[in-house]
Amino acid sequence: MRADAQRRACLHAALGGVLAAALAAAVAIDNPEAPDRVAAFAQRALAFEQALAATGGGNAAAEAGRVYAQFLDVDVDRAYRALLGRQQLPERGALVVAQRRGLQFRDAEQAFIGPHWTRARVGSSASLSAADDCSALLRARVLQWLRYSAE
């Protein structure tokens, strides 16, 4: 049980750190009059991240992770399409390749995460750990596309 409490404390600290990093990066936008898409995303994501962090593992974490992943999938696609719409050749082609390879990496990483975070290995926090790792991949991609899109 102590390991679960430590894991949870680490996840809460990591969540705070990721949010702080996202907001700090948002301040670094070149054009201060441009919309702050990173901060807007962080605001939208916060409720999902808090819901995931508040679970005690098990089915609740799996469900919160699934809901958060759906939200992130939509935002990854939205950020990618917005960035793609602003690109000219050859950058546009390079972006398409980067997205395809990023999706391949995501799929490969998620194929590893599931079997890695097992109840036998880490106890009741397995589903929380898996959901956290999967969402971290998607969240990082959203933030990267948004930073590239900064005006």
Tens of pLDDT, residues 61-110: 999 999 999 999 999 999 999 999 999 999 999 999 999 999 999 999 99
Q: Which DSSP letter does residue 125 get?
A: G
Give the alpha-carbon dihedral of 46, 141, 72, 34, to 10 degrees. Answer: 60
SS3 content of the chain, % helix, strand, coil (to 5): 85, 0, 15
Q: What pLDDT score was predicted for residue 8? A: 53
3-state secondary structure of 55: coil
Bond preceding residue 90 cis, omega within 30 of 0: yes
pLDDT at 30: 61
**Taking Cα atoms as reference points, which of 67, 37, 33, 31 lies closest to residue 49?**
67
Domain that holds residue 58: 2-149
Count of domains in the chain? 1
Average pLDDT of every residue of the chain: 84
- 14's CB contacts (< 8 A; 6+ apart) are 132
- For residue 125, name the pLDDT band (cuts at 50, 70, 90): confident
